[in-house]
Amino acid sequence: MFQVFIITLLLYFNNCFSSAENYAHRMIIDLSHPINKAEVFNCKETRQNCVVFIRDSAGQQFVIKQTKENTPLAQLDSINELFATCIAESLHIPVNHVDLIPLGFDMPSNLTKQKIATLHTWVPGRPACEYDCYRGLTIRQGYRKRLYVEQIGLNRDIIFNMSVHQDLPRIVALDAFLGNYDRSRSNLLYDDKSGRFYIIDMERALSVNLCFSGCYHIKKMIDNNGSDFCPQEIEALRSFGNTLNTLVNKYPPDKQCDILDYFLSEAGFCLNGPLYHVDAVVRIEWYKKLIHEMYADAIELIQLVDRLVHILSSTPK
């Protein structure tokens, strides 16, 4: 049964590859080495998802993730992850590659073909929380039950923490641009062999306008003349601003909505599609409104960060 699942999945990805837009060329699987002998080597459940770990005959490992809930609304989390990782990959930010597994595929373990799922590449490293030197590191810009402007976004603690490694300002900028508040130490991985940070779990993208909150914090820092910033923090702010500027230039709102619409259509959320539902339609429209709002605030945040960097660079130490 599982071999049938993999072979059918290969055929589906092959069709997608030949017809999709450039930004949707997202095939994980090397068709010259079909994963027809993959084995399930681990399963786990989180609060929202069932997660199955598989290994192919060459020893490559992948992850399949599927929401526990049956509603189309809950399955939008998979679309958020596809959307966010697509943008992250285009900037060469270290992130796992994610593909859509549409409805109708016979799934391994306790997963069901009645819901969409996502197939993820395995990334190196261990969660940052497992390293003593990064145990206190946090670049999480918000929390599920604390989404007030004063409590989220690019605050002073985030700036300090993202200054400890050159990968982190770019990750923080990506999360801010995409409205992904859930960058915990468990989905921020560090690989001590390459010395790089990797990110996974982007399903909380399009949740909250972190750029608006970032503007709030940076304005306060400017009003205080940017006191008490070390050179590493100034450089981290500069990297954050440059990355956010690249995202703004590369992904205007209409292009973001086009990418979102592509994955929505592939999954079956289009009119008369199997996942079309009024609740999902309302949420999708809210996503697109949020994209436009976040984009406008990202432009302002870039300007404010540039101004703060200028003040800090001009202030005698």
Residue-level pLDDT at 35: 37
Residue-level pLDDT at 147: 64
DSSP secondary structure string, 104-156?
T---STT--TTS-EEEEE---SEEGGGSGGGTT------BTTB-SGGGSSS-H
Residue-level pLDDT at 110: 87
Q: Among 59-63, 193-197, 207-211, 252-256, name the one with the lowest average pLDDT.
A: 59-63
- The confidence band for 22, taking pLDDT boundaries of 50, 70 and 90, is low
| CATH 1.10.1070 residue ranges for the chain | 126-314
Residue-level pLDDT at 36: 38
In sequence order, the β-bridge partners of residue 184 are none
DSSP three-state, residue 50: strand
Residue-level pLDDT at 8: 44
Residue-level pLDDT at 246: 98
The whole-angstrom separation of Cα 23 and Cα 287 is: 19
In sequence order, the β-bridge partners of residue 40 are 54
Measuring CA to CA, which residue among 293, 304, 276 is closest to residue 75? 276
First to last CA, the chain: 67
pLDDT in tens, 283-298: 999 999 999 999 999 9
Residue-level pLDDT at 14: 47
Residue-level pLDDT at 231: 95
For the domain made up of 2-121, the CATH class stated in words is alpha beta
- The confidence band for 308, taking pLDDT boundaries of 50, 70 and 90, is very high
| CATH 3.30.200 residue ranges for the chain | 2-121
Evaluate if residue 275 carries a pLDDT over 50.
yes
The whole-angstrom separation of Cα 313 and Cα 159 is: 16
Residue 148, number of CB atoms within 10 A of its CB: 8
Evaluate if residue 3 carries a pLDDT over 70.
no
In sequence order, the β-bridge partners of residue 64 are 52, 119
| Model confidence, pTM | 0.89
Evaluate if residue 50 carries a pLDDT over 80.
yes
**Who contacts 214 (Cβ-Cβ below 8 Å, separation ≥6)?**
141, 153, 154, 176, 297, 301, 304
CATH number of 126-314: 1.10.1070
Tell which wins on pLDDT, 206 or 228. 206
Residue-level pLDDT at 104: 86
Unique residue bearing structure tokens 């069709």:
15
Angle at 90 between CA 88 and CA 91, to 5 degrees: 70
Residue-level pLDDT at 25: 47
Residues 71-100 have a mean pLDDT of: 96
The whole-angstrom separation of Cα 122 and Cα 38 is: 14
Evaluate if residue 205 carries a pLDDT over 50.
yes
- The confidence band for 146, taking pLDDT boundaries of 50, 70 and 90, is low
What is the residue-averaged pLDDT of the chain?
Answer: 88
